[in-house]
Structure 1
């Protein structure tokens, strides 16, 4: 009885090794990309992957803010000067700093504006945005499909691969111990 159980575990162990190896080779690239970009995103402020947030000089005066429409128009005119697309993605308003950050859909630029005067405080690249798109796989959709097809495929394949690698890795560790125990009894 014990001999048959040992043999079945050995056969399963060999299959798991093969599966683990052949899953691991292609998934290694994805895990490497996710790992490196995770570290970069975790340290993005320390590594200055985001433009430094400016502060309005008019903050203490407590004036009226310019409208979001005006913010968009000012940011668009800055992008026109650089020859970039003017399609706005979002406005990040920072009341405590008196500024607004306008970002764009088709490039990784950010225009920081004084929320009271509309003065352009900085125009810089948000490196963390493209790193995030590489991290989650949406960079492929961003440049080719304009849908979430690649992101969903990449994220799902990587997640299922990690789950399978974890399960097979556990059994690659556990079965040799179990086989030794069965051989001893």
Structure 2
């Protein structure tokens, strides 16, 4: 009698864990497809021939003493962005990459996915970049949602990664339990 009650409890817990496992798996199915595809793309970005990650173009001088000031290079980059891409794009910077070994300065703008590579010494345009790897990275970590909604900060990314991590943890624990209970019931008499 005791054994039967114990088996009924385990069967109820197994049913409960299966329902939690199913709900977690539904959410994670879409997330895992996005994370796996974007992860593969990010892994291969340096080997995409410049399609995902823009290649760095060489400038004329690697000597910093020959270079223009960052301020004048920034003004030039903003002018090129407005004239060559779109006058309505934001000039707010995400970062400035100084590549001394290439003789080049890269201005990466926030709010859109364009970058401008300039010769550090002459200020001449070397390349206008479409930063596809940044777009893919935002899909990979979930921050594309905050970007699309125009929300400041990284709260959406934090919520997305927390929910995904917790769902994966729940999926792992419930998956183990779904495997373990029947295994234990089948093999109880053997041990």
If the length of structure 2 is used for normalisation, what is the TM-score? 0.87
In structure 2, distance between residues paired with 1:142 and 1:157: 18
Residue 76 of structure 1 is matched in structure 2 by: 78
Deviation digits for residues 31-60 of structure 1 (CA, Å, limit 9, x no counterpart) = 22112111111111112301111112333x
Displacement of 1:64 in angstroms is 2.0
1:137 aligns to 2:142 (yes or no): yes
- 2:95 and 2:107 in contact (8 A); partners too: yes
Tell me whether 162-171 or 174-183 shows the greater mean CA deviation.
174-183
Partner of 1:175: 181
Q: Unaligned 5+ residue runs, structure 2?
A: none
Deviations 1:85-120 (A, max 9, x none): 222221011111111111101111111111111111
Deviation at 1:149, TM superposition (A): 2.9
Matched, 1:30 2:36: no
SS of the counterpart of 1:123? strand
1:63 offset after TM fit, Å?
Answer: 4.9
Match of 1:90 in 2: 95
Residue 164, structure 1, aligned to residue 170, structure 2: yes
CA distance in 1, matches of 2:105, 2:156: 32
Q: Which residue, 55, 75, 87 being the options, matches 1:52?
A: 55
Please state how far the C-alpha of 1:2 moved relative to its aligned partner: 4.3
**Which residue of 100, 106, 116 corresponds with 2:105?**
100
**Matching residue of 2:12:** 11
Distance 1:21 1:153 in 2: 21
Question: Is the 1:2–1:182 Cα contact (8 Å) retained in structure 2?
Answer: no
Distance (Å, rounded) in 2 between the aligned partners of 1:15 and 1:67: 65
The RMSD of aligned alpha carbons is: 1.9
Unmatched runs of 5 consecutive residues or more in structure 1: none
